[in-house]
Structures are given as structure tokens and as C-alpha cells.
Structure 1
Amino acid sequence: MADSPHEPAGPAANRHSEQFGRADRAVGAHHRRDGADDTGETRTGKKAKKEKSFWRELPILIVVALALSFLLQTFVARVYLIPSESMQPTLHGCPGCTGDRIVVEKISYRFTDPRPGDVVVFKGPDSWSAGYVSTRSDNVVLRGIQEVGSLVGLVPPDENDLVKRVIAVGGQTVECCDDQGRVLVDGVPLDEPYVQMDFPFTPGVVTCETDVQSGRCFGPVTVPDDHVWVMGDNRSNSADSRYHVGDEHQGAIPLDNVIGKARLIVLPPGRWGTIDSPDILPS
């Protein structure tokens, strides 16, 4: 009987079929390899684009950060270093040691005036800055860099900034002392728990009436309007308003010179805390 035309015609046909199958598999594998290469190239391209985008955006991010720092330092708050012992024990500072770094808030005094008891940072008037030495370099380029750094808070401002406590405000009369050695404002003795270091005052021995007066004694002085009378908490080691009564402001500080209110101690970590501003005038 003749073979059917729809059936394989022996071993040769089988070999042809196997070769055709191998060829198809080879072509498929080739297409899969091409696809894998295309995917890898696409991922690499996206990664390169992201890296380029980051480096293009970085300068913008830096400028925005510096602008925000400038605005915060100028209008909201700034950190200051305490360099001296005049506010001991409230604020710690001394030459060569690690002084407190404090946050000075600038918003409150845009709406209200300082009150007795507040700890404030202010720019010293001319009579307070006689011995002040500029912290800027003589090199024009370095000086310019320092000025830019100061704008964004990386470098301290080149001015005689001081920190003291407000004792009296414009129109009040301040003096020392009553028979217990206390400071008087408009004849009323102040309650000052923060003062732990002061000049000796011993009734009948060393007072404001004895031949050798106590170092506490001064006044009376009437504070000019729009000024504040300031004193250090370390009364025996503070060149404050008492030492400048002969200047044009009678030792007081113009309100325009007040930078802000000291709120927090932020460094060193062991000194973290708020800065107390008690109401020192009896109610």
C-alpha cells in the first residue's frame, strides 16, 4: 500500500523537524538577550538622569537654605556665645573656657518693650564699646567671606553685643541701696533671687552712709524714655549701666539697641534649659 502524503516520510523528515526546532529556539533566545540588554540600558539611563538632576538642583537647595538661615537669623532668633562672667550664675562664661550658647528671640520686642527681669542682648552704645576690637580679617577677601558668613549665622556679627538683665525702664528712677543693701526702683526694693555674687554690704559697718561706701551704691538715676537700665547678675564683676552713668544715655541702653530676649541655653548639653526672667518688682 502506498504511504499517505500527510505522514512523515521516514528518518530524513525527523532530522529536518529537529533542525527547524533548534533554529526557532536559537532565534527566541537571541530576542530575549536583546530585550535584557534594552532593559539594562534603560535603567542605566534613568539613573544617570537622576544623578544629573541632583547635581543641577544642589546649588538651588544651598541658596534656599542660606536664604532661610538669613531670614531666621535676622528676624526670628539667633545663637550668641557668652564670653564673660558678668551674668554668673545664670549664664556661664569666662575667657578661655566653654561659655554658654544662648538662643536670643527677636520677635517679642517688635510688639512689646522689655520689662524689668528680662535678660536681653543688645548692641553696646559707643561709650560701652571703647575697648572693642573688630573680629574681622584685614584681608579684603577674607573680610568679605566673614561678612557673608555673618549674614547667614555662620560667623558672629562684628559688633559689641552684650547680655545683661533689665532692672528699670524709661521714666523709672533706680538706685542702691536700702538698709538691707537692695536695689530700689521708684523707692521699691527689688526681689532678685538670681544675684548670688555682690559687693559686701553690712548695716552699720559698710553701707552707702559709711566713710568707705559699699561697692553696691549708685544713683539715684532716672532712666530716659525709650531706654532700659541693665545690670549683670554677677554684680561684683559686671561693667553695666552703673559704670556708664556719665555718658549721653546716663548709662541706660536705647531700645533701638536691644536685639532680643535671651530664651534658652542650647550648649553645652549639660547646661540645656530656659533662662528665667522673673517679675522682680513686688506686686
Structure 2
Amino acid sequence: MSDDTAPPSFMSGRMRRLLVLLAVLAVLVVVRPLFIETYTVPSSSMVPTLSPGDRIAVRKHVRVERGDLVVFTADEAFYGGAPDQGSLRRIGDWFGIRPGEHVYVKRVIALPGERVSVDRVGVLRVEGKVQAEPYLRAGVLASTTAFSIRVPQGRYFVMGDNRPASDDSRNHLGDPGGGSVRAEDIVGVVVWRYWPSAGWGSVES
């Protein structure tokens, strides 16, 4: 007599689905920090483009262009020193947590090697060409401080959209690097605002 009884399944369908879900979550935990980070905007320095409390997604490992909004660590550019590079920092980098760092979001105004200037009447120029800044509120000047600087190679000159209330490259012109941000300190480019829901969507340069 033949035995038509099927062998027992190694695991139930429900258990397989649970394991698949756990595997997907594990991949997201490991892979997400390699390509995307999320941040909360801490101040009003990017108003009207970004507001305090906005939650943004930042794409890593992309080419930075003039006009991009970038998230970066400002310890070297604005505070005169790089953060600790020990094991705690390396673990934090893997999981997207960077303890002890000053993290900023600003707009890239000039690229490595470019000359950026603002004259006495507040007109912004990059490589001698006047730059329109439609993201500024009406009546706001590019800067009330006149300056002219050649951005060092490997660095970026950044400013906030809320110029009167932004701590940015202009405030550190006398520092090494002229207040510009090293390429390796840029976490990534802001690509999406996902909170609040009323303002969700891509962030335009």
C-alpha cells in the first residue's frame, strides 16, 4: 500500500512570511544609512524654504551642485575642529547617528574653486555673474556683509535662506577655509520633506 501522506512542511506559511518581513527590515536597517538619512530641521535659518521641525530625507553619495540644500557637520568649518574619530563615531556613522557633532542644513552658494562675492548693495555674484535668489523673501539682501572669497578646492560656500538669522559661511570668513565646508563633511543633498504632511514633497533647489 502506498503512502500518500505529504511530508510535513518545514515551516508554516505564516512563519515564512514573518521571516521574510524580518529579513526585509534587517536589510533596511543596514542599507538605508548607506544611501538615505533623515533629519529634523532645528532652526529658522532656512525659512521660507524649510521651517523648524520639518523632517527631511537626505540622499548620500550624490554630486553636489550650486543651489543644492545640503546637510553637513560643521565642527571643522564653524567650530575649528573635527569631532572624535574613535570607535563610538564609527558605530554612529554606520547607524546614521553622529554624537557630538553640530549638524547644519544650508544652501550651496559656490562650488570648489569658484569666486563668490557680495557687494556693498547686497548683490551676490559667483565668478562675476549676478545670481538670482528667488528662494529669499522679498526685500532680503544676499548679505548685509560685503565680501569676496575664492572657495578652496574640495570645499563649498554655504548660506541659509533666512540670511538675517543664519550662522553660515559668512560668519566665519576669517577662519581657516573662509567658513567653507569640506566635501567630506557633507552628509548629502536634501531631496524630500516628509513632515509635516501639509508640506510634503520634493525640495527644489
Superposed displacement of residue 108, structure 1: 2.1
Q: Could you say which residue in structure 2 is the equivalent of 1:20?
A: none
Q: Aligned pair in 2 of structure 1 residues 106, 198: CA closer, same or farther (>3 Å)?
A: farther
Amino acid at match of 2:116: V
Instruction: Please give the TM-score of this superposition, normalised by the length of structure 2.
Output: 0.78
Cα 1:81–1:129, aligned 2, differ >3 Å: closer, same or farther? Answer: farther
More helix by share: 1
SS of the counterpart of 1:108? Answer: coil
Rounded Cα–Cα distance in structure 2 between residues aligned with 1:149 and 1:126: 18
Rounded to whole Å, the distance in 1 between the matches of 2:77 and 2:108 is: 19
Q: How many residues align?
A: 195
Q: Which amino acid aligns with 2:66?
A: P
Please tell me whether residue 100 in structure 1 is matched to residue 42 in structure 2.
no
In the aligned structure 2, how far is the partner of 1:126 from the partner of 1:256? Answer: 11
Q: CA deviation at 1:171?
A: 1.4
Choose the corresponding residue for 1:121, options 71, 95, 98.
71
Q: Where does residue 130 of structure 2 map in the other structure?
A: 189
SS of match in other structure, 1:116: coil
User: Cα–Cα, structure 1 residues 268 and 126, in superposed 2: closer, same or farther, change >3 Å?
Assistant: same
Distance 1:265 1:72, change over 3 A: same
Q: CA RMSD in A?
A: 3.6
- Aligned-partner Cα distance in 2 for 1:67–1:149: 17
Task: Point out the structure with max Rg over C-alpha.
Answer: 1
| Structure-1-length-normalised TM-score | 0.58
Distance in structure 2 (CA, Å) of the matches to 1:228 and 1:200: 21
Cα pair distance change 1:186/1:148, threshold 3 Å: closer
Q: Using the aligned pairs only, state the percent identity.
A: 32
Deviation for aligned residue 1:166? 0.5
Which one-letter code corresponds to 2:42 in the other structure? Answer: P
Gaps of 5+ in 1: 1-45, 94-98, 131-143, 202-214, 278-283
- The 5 Å alignment of 1:132-171 reads 151-152=94-95, 156-158=97-99, 159-171=101-113
